[in-house]
Structure 1
């Protein structure tokens, strides 16, 4: 089984969407998808209501997800660790114990050659339009990841 972790700051906006979107594209018998945040702000909370809403509008239910913090043991558990932006990438890599850990970490948008800015914008302080934009960005990139993995 291939295990993939999506990581953003609080694990309530971007990474839960990436988790739910990619999970909807891959067979759960062959792939396990999860998400986490580098900060502990929202541990145990549901995703942001706007993330839940935009996912639901696109046929994906992420309301069952609960925020958790990234831990060093995640390097042992996951094959791929996708950071939503360079700040979170740096935070994850700072916890790496060795080169093997570091090699598992990648910016999510590195998988999308059509995007020049490799940071998924944080929609937290934005409006529904920002959440719709990142949904589309994550969805397109998840299609590319899924096609590469299948």
Structure 2
């Protein structure tokens, strides 16, 4: 349904390509009868669409990925952590909804009323998603590579953090930032083992505009990535090497 709605919205725009895939989906299945019916009610035919599973090639080619629920988002980032910067919750753009209410229920096996609810939730937010995509596309050429080309390093504000396991790496990064004369501050954990609590504190600082970016060191970055990506407008990328960061920025 999401693919049909977005394709209908961008009809005539050949610069945008839309695809859909599911985590653990079976290839080649048609939409359910309820899905076809509720979409036909608004003049959109999705009977030709066939299911497919998510794979690394789809992830690599996508400029933006939109998930229906937090469980979809978490599963996708566990499988493809390099996609963190370009993966969003669909209802993340429904700013009038509380954070924990920004999920679209899976209608499979449900009533036709549930399918209509899902359709209407997606239909309402699609124009905002299109505006976001067009805005990002138009500004990409102006911001691409700005991190390496910007000589005014004093404008970059970095917030550092770590749990017990990441202390050594954090201290090493402080020496590098000092050498490059990049201003930074360090957030002190209230509990050296509570990495999720630290993520929440860092998220508040970033969302309030007190810092431009944050580097958080831990033993396992998956928990950090999942916790951070539950905050609208923030994207965390798990990196164990410089190449991970470069791939994330490229995608």
Bin the TM-score by the shorter chain.
0.7 to 0.9
- Partner-residue secondary structure (3-state), 1:94: helix
Task: Choose between structure 1 and 2: higher strand proportion.
Answer: 1
Cα displacement (A) at 1:44: 0.6
Cα displacement (A) at 1:75: 2.1
**How do residues 16-35 of structure 1 correspond to structure 2 at under 5 angstroms?**
17-26=1-10, 27-35=12-20
Which of 92, 98, 102 is residue 84 of structure 2 equivalent to?
102
Q: How far apart in 2 are the matches of 1:56 and 1:18?
A: 13
Which of 131, 152, 163 is residue 147 of structure 1 equivalent to?
131
Flag the structure with more relative contact order, 1 or 2, with Cα contacts below 8 A and sequence separation at least 6: 1
Task: Give the length in aligned residue pairs.
Answer: 131
Which of 15, 38, 59 is residue 23 of structure 2 equivalent to?
38
Task: Choose between structure 1 and 2: higher helix proportion.
Answer: 2
Task: Kindly indicate whether residue 83 of structure 2 is the aligned counterpart of residue 128 of structure 1.
Answer: no
Q: How far apart in 1 are the matches of 2:130 and 2:105?
A: 22
In the superposition, the TM-score normalised over structure 1's length comes to 0.81
Task: Kindly indicate whether residue 97 of structure 2 is the aligned counterpart of residue 111 of structure 1.
Answer: no
Q: What stretches of structure 1 of length at least 5 have no aligned partner? A: 1-16
Q: How far apart in 1 are the matches of 2:4 and 2:80?
A: 26
Give the CA RMSD over aligned residues: 1.4
Which structure has the bigger radius of gyration?
Answer: 2
